[in-house]
Amino acid sequence: MYVRGGDYKVTQPIAPHKSGRDDAWITYSGWPGETAVFNGWNIHANAEGKLPFSNGETVDIDVSRVGILHIHKRHYIRVQGLLFRDAAYQGLGVTGGSGHIDILHNRIHRSVASNMATIGGKVEGNTHHVRVIGNELLNAFDPKLILRSTDAGWQAHTRQQVEKGSSFGAEDLDLYRTDDFEVAFNEVSWGAKEGIDPLNSRRGRIHHNYVHDIFVIPSFGGGKAGIYVDSWGPDAYAIEVDHNVVQRAGSGISFYNEGKTPYHDMSCHHNLLVDNYWVGISVGANADTTSFSRNIRIYNNTCFHNGYREGNKGFAGGIHIHTARKQTDVLVANNISVEGRDYDLATSRQTDRAEDRVRMAYNLLSARDLKGDPARFSQHLPTFGDLPILGDAKFIDPANWNFGLKADSPAVDAGLPDADWDDTDGTRADMGAFPRLQRLPEIPRATATIRVDGDLADWQDIAALPLPGAQPQPQAVRLAWSEDGLYGAAQVVDKDIQFTIPDTGRGVGFGIIRANDLLTVGIQRDGKSVEAEDKQTFVHYFAPQPDTEGPAIVFARPAFKWMRQSFDKFLRSADKRVTAQWRRTPQGYALEFFIPAGTLQPLAWKPQTTLPLFVRVSDGRDTLAEFLKPSQTGKHREAPPSAWQRVILVP
């Protein structure tokens, strides 16, 4: 269902009447080129304190958990490209054991409670298979909005808490009892409580998000965690937090057990934590916890200048393993943590590490006196850990947010000396979130004729392109060159191939084409280093044809010269010299392409030629895998040529 642009004053929560199916999702989408705004300020509870839904149902759940759009006991629902604002309760809600829910590229601005929450329960079971991708979440638990509220009950209680400055609030994105989830490429900011909070949740990944300014009400303690992985009741486990940027939160990323049950199998890697008020990364547990949290991996993160909130009299700095007697099998390695106020690396007691429950090794830290202020350090132990490097990390340009490593950085090739930890270029692991690749990825010469027919049998002996940050890598992209040009093949895991073109009667711009499944290949034709737009920089798009296997849609354009044209013109503009074929597979689809050398002049197709290259596999507007400079991870929704990775053609 497409929603035309306009400001819709919602008076009761919008709820789907039925579920979709695995092969037929129900989609609520904004109309291309228009903005549909759902304003939730006129939603009010009835005399019984309930919020009846638009589909006629009344659900017995806390009204603070009801969204402007609410999905309850429904499955295979997708919400994309909409704007929700001024929620009298919550922006978006998912409850009742709902599953296979996609929340894609929406904006959710200002709410009295959370901007979005997925809530599982003991009766209906956990919400499951939820994806929250590419959204903008702004001003959850907005105090200005709360003080305007007039309802009794929950709103009145909330208003009283704000008026007296009590430590009270609602998470911006709350995932309670949610299994098999993905939260990626979102911007979350200006909330009064945690930014992204999976609580008692399992088997999820939180990656490539930008979380910042989580401190709306200063009297609430100066801000909560940007990303907060928490366990209260059932075990929380198997959550990966990677490639995020967290800035100006209370804690950048925190793993904590507020209840009596442990969490386990957690990983935190390749994140950038800057200017957070208390700590960059923390691991802790409630004193009442009766069993060990275990198998926690904190590695290849960059923590810079954390702990400097004005008036902060506590123990503040970079990476802190709190109450370490409550954890076992903890590894803190390959991190760069510098310029923390009181410490760069710390634990609670000296005996914790002596008992081998926590291993801290191969980290780059500031050279400093570890004695510190006894009043603040009485319960904590600043440490360098084992085999540290002390001193300047030699970032490229931290003042301008380039935390990549200079060639002479002591963090290069200084991480754990174990092949399992090696960088993607095969060299020993670097420290920090942004490795400096020393060996250019290689594009081999095609040793035999490659037929562009969608059958990938010709590619068995050619290695897949390394995709930094995509682990595991279900998407495989292979490239090969010859004097005739560049060949490519992609094996894409995607059971829901998207190619939906609405019949508007007036044509569709290029933006809607990008909303479908695409293999994107960018090439800099003169092989120079690209720092801006360039007439020699071209991007090629390959897309499965609607419903029909065989020839794929082909389109080429100068980098970031968006061409606004109708769908018919889009098809006619395809470069006939570039060919592509696709086929369905049991896991998704396979696509092959060929770009003739004549279209890439003056680039010389011969051994040892180097060139900037960009590859992205996307499912609608969601990135499944991409090939970029590692230092650019998480910074771009659209990768400029300056972020492309250089490759070399080899015999």
Tokens of 460: 């068995």
Residue 514 pLDDT greater than 60, yes or no? no
- pLDDT tens-digit map of 279-298: 999 998 776 666 678 899 99
- pLDDT tens-digit map of 134-192: 999 999 988 778 777 766 665 666 666 666 555 556 889 999 999 999 999 999 998 88
- Comparing 230 with 156, which gets the higher pLDDT? 230
pLDDT of residue 641: 66
**CA angle, residues 345, 349, 352, in degrees to nearest 5:** 95
Given the DSSP bridges, would you call strands 99-104 and 127-133 parallel, antiparallel or unpaired?
parallel
N- to C-terminal Cα distance for the chain? 52
3-state secondary structure of 514: coil
Tokens of 236: 């929380």
Residue 593 pLDDT greater than 90, yes or no? yes
Q: Sheet of 75-80: strands edge to edge? A: 2-3, 26-30, 75-80, 99-104, 127-133, 178-184, 202-207, 236-242, 263-269, 293-299, 327-333, 358-361
The CATH class, in words, for 442-650 is mainly beta
pLDDT band at 568 (very low <50, low <70, confident <90, very high): very low
Identity of the residue numbered 472: P
pLDDT band at 388 (very low <50, low <70, confident <90, very high): very high
Residue with tokens 């003042």: 399
Q: Which residues contact 143 (CB under 8 A, 6 or more apart)?
A: 162, 192, 216, 217
Residue 96 pLDDT greater than 60, yes or no? yes
DSSP, residue by residue, 526-573: T----SS--TTEEEEEEEPPSS--EEPEEEEEETT------HHHHHHT
Which strand (E) or helix (H) includes residue 592? strand 588-596
Minimal CA–CA distance to 633: which of 412, 425, 468, 436? 468
Give the separation between CA 591 and CA 603, rounded to whole angstroms. Answer: 24
Residue with tokens 């965690």: 225
Residue 41 pLDDT greater than 90, yes or no? yes
Which strand (E) or helix (H) includes residue 156? helix 154-163
Identity of the residue numbered 285: A
Of 9-13, 137-141, 147-151, 590-594, the one with minimum mean pLDDT is 147-151
Tokens of 392: 């300047």
Q: Do 514 and 564 touch, CB atoms closer than 8 A?
A: no
For the chain, the average pLDDT equals 83
- pLDDT tens-digit map of 460-513: 889 888 775 444 556 789 999 999 889 999 998 876 776 654 434 433 344 445
- 89, HSE (Cβ side, Cα atoms, 13 Å): 28
Residue 241's beta-bridge partner residues?
206, 268
Q: How far are the Cα atoms of 479, 521, 578, 587 from residue 574, in angstroms, in the given order? A: 21, 15, 8, 28
- Supply the pTM of this predicted model: 0.79
- Comparing 450 with 504, which gets the higher pLDDT? 450
Q: Sheet of 485-493: strands edge to edge? A: 476-482, 485-493, 588-596, 579-584, 550-551
Burial-class residue 177 by CB neighbours within 10 Å (0-12, 13-18, 19+).
buried
Give the separation between CA 98 and CA 120, rounded to whole angstroms. Answer: 8
Q: How far are the Cα atoms of 77, 187, 214, 308, 636 from residue 102, in angstroms, in the given order? A: 6, 16, 25, 38, 21
Residue with tokens 């400001």: 7
Q: Do 401 and 388 touch, CB atoms closer than 8 A?
A: no
pLDDT of residue 576: 52
Given the DSSP bridges, would you call strands 343-347 and 381-382 parallel, antiparallel or unpaired?
antiparallel
Q: Where are the beta strands (DSSP E) in 122-242?
A: 127-133, 136-138, 173-176, 178-184, 187-189, 196-199, 202-207, 210-212, 227-231, 236-242
Of 102-106, 428-432, 508-512, 513-517, the one with minimum mean pLDDT is 508-512
Give the separation between CA 67 and CA 499, rounded to whole angstroms. Answer: 29
- Comparing 40 with 221, which gets the higher pLDDT? 40
Q: How far are the Cα atoms of 8, 131, 149, 189 from residue 37, in angstroms, in the given order? A: 6, 22, 20, 20
DSSP, residue by residue, 314-354: S--EEEEETTGGGEEEEEEES-EEE--SSEEEEES-HHHHH
Give the separation between CA 153 and CA 171, rounded to whole angstroms. Answer: 20
List, by residue range, all CATH 2.60.40.1190 domains of the chain.
Answer: 442-650
Given the DSSP bridges, would you call strands 336-338 and 645-650 parallel, antiparallel or unpaired?
unpaired
Give the separation between CA 364 and CA 385, rounded to whole angstroms. Answer: 10
- pLDDT tens-digit map of 366-387: 998 877 666 666 677 889 999 9
- Comparing 539 with 429, which gets the higher pLDDT? 429
pLDDT of residue 38: 98
